[in-house]
Amino acid sequence: DGGITQSPKYLFRKEGQNVTLSCEQNLNHDAMYWYRQDPGQGLRLIYYSQIVNDFQKGDIAEGYSVSREKKESFPLTVTSAQKNPTAFYLCASSDRQRETQYFGPGTRLLVL
């Protein structure tokens, strides 16, 4: 089955700890995205990557980092510099020709 997977479903972070959220897709999509969603809020773009080995900051990149070493994978690291990390994190991918984005099931990050 083609699709986007994210793991873990729930993640708990301790103060001062870096955590990494996984995102994998087997849709052969060139572009991948990370969004953050807070309760009652819209999706806000953290980072995006249009091709392997290249990525760009979105609107709220501070406190986050990404890598794009493989077409299928776009992991997001939430660093200790992100002071309010509790949120629902969504990964998406798209075909560069069509723009429609398809989302993974998301990861809920909670701070202990």
Question: How many chain residues bind another protein (CB under 8 A)?
Answer: 24
Residues 70-109 touching another protein, rule: CB under 8 A, are: 88, 90, 96, 99-106
Residues 12-51 touching another protein, rule: CB under 8 A, are: 31, 33, 35, 40-43, 45, 48, 50
What are the distances in angstroms from CA 84 to CA 17, 39, 70, 94, 108? Answer: 13, 13, 29, 28, 13
Q: Encoding tokens for residue 30? A: 């060139």
The DSSP code for 69 is S
54 near another protein, rule: CB under 8 A: yes
> Smallest distance, Å, CB 80 to another protein?
27
What are the distances in angstroms from CA 46 to CA 1, 8, 33, 63, 77? Answer: 27, 19, 8, 10, 11
> Smallest distance, Å, CB 71 to another protein?
16
Please identify, using beta-carbon distances, which residue of 13 and 88 lies nearer to another protein.
Answer: 88
- Dihedral class, residue 53 (left if φ above 0, else alpha if ψ from -120 to 50, else beta): left
Please identify, using beta-carbon distances, which residue of 78 and 92 lies nearer to another protein.
Answer: 92
- Applying CB under 8 A, which residues contact another protein? 31, 33, 35, 40-43, 45, 48, 50, 54, 56, 58, 88, 90, 96, 99-106
